Structure formats: C-alpha cells, structure tokens
Amino acid sequence: MRNHLACAILILVNVLNASAAPTDDVYKLGPDSNVQPNVPQGKVAGPLTLPSKVYPNTTRNYWVYTPAQYDPAKPACLMIFQDGHFFVNPTGEYRIPIVFDNLIYRREMPVTSTPAAPPSRRKPPTRTGATAPTTAASNTTRWMTNTPSSSSTSSSPS
C-alpha cells in the first residue's frame, strides 16, 4: 500500500512538472512590441542621474519616455515603472516605449509619459573624496586600498 501511494505521488509530481511551460513559452512578444510602420516614435531620455536629498550619498538613475504626441500645453498621463531599466530597452523583454507608441497611435491609451527608475545605489567615498557607483569590483578595490599593509601594522612582541 505504501509503495502504491509513493508511486502515485511520484507520478503526480512528474505530470505536474511536465505540464508546466518553460519560461520562454509563457510570455511571447506580441505585435505591439515591434515597431510598426507610420507610427510616430517617442523619445527615451537617459540614463539621467538624480542625487538624493533624503538619503545622503545615494543617487537614482532614471529614464523618461515622452511620446511623440506629447503637447506640453495639454495634461498627459503618467505611469511610473520601478526597476525601469528593464522596461525602456527597445530590444529587451518588455519594450514599453514601443508598446506605448503603438497603443497611443491607435488611441487605445491616452498620451502617457513614463519615468522609469531602477533601485537606488549608494556611492562610497573614494580616496580622493570623489564618489563612484557601488559595484563588487569597486568595493573590493576600496577594501584593498584602505586595508593597511601587514608590514605597517605588525608589531613585534617585546
């Protein structure tokens, strides 16, 4: 009886795994994700950098998509994308500027501007007092250059 139950569970797990689609098959880009003829294309400005006034030594990179139909004299809608660096890439997985261009052109959505920002980064001070973006390499370099050499810190027992 125990063997039958174990076999049934094993078969069920395999069936469920076999029926799950691979990630590539779950989302396929549709026609709105491709540049269409005669559709005016908006502009993506960026990456731009904004220093934080709230969190010292942090900056926020961001991009701003402005549709071709945008008129500063008229109100426009606003849609904010977090992790926006993934959304503004015209050859990436989402292609938001291209999708917006197509939908706005067909009047399936209103004129919408889009600021897009990735997570903020802390800027560690460098030896000269300037700042640089945080990366694993810069952290390692900073640690190595700020670590006293063993000859200058070693003390012989007396």
The domain in which residue 93 lies consists of 38-123
Q: Which residues pair with 78 in a beta bridge?
A: 113
* DSSP-derived 3-state class of residue 114: strand
pLDDT at 106: 97
Domain presence at residue 7: no
The pTM of the whole model exceeds 0.75 = no
Higher pLDDT, 12 or 138: 12
23 falls within a domain: no
The tens digit of pLDDT for each residue in 77-90 reads 999 988 777 888 88
Burial of 102 (0-12, 13-18, 19+ CB in 10 A): buried
> φ, ψ for residue 92 (rounded to 5)?
-85, -160
In a domain, 1, yes or no: no
Query: For residue 121, is it left (φ>0), alpha (ψ between -120 and 50) or beta?
Result: beta
Q: Render pLDDT for 13-62 as a digit per residue (tens, 0 to 9).
A: 555 555 555 555 677 889 999 999 999 999 999 999 988 888 888 888 89
Phi-psi category of 90—alpha, beta or left, where left has phi over 0 and alpha has psi -120 to 50?
alpha
Query: Residue 77: inside a domain, yes or no?
Result: yes
Q: Answer yes or no: is 26 within a domain.
A: no
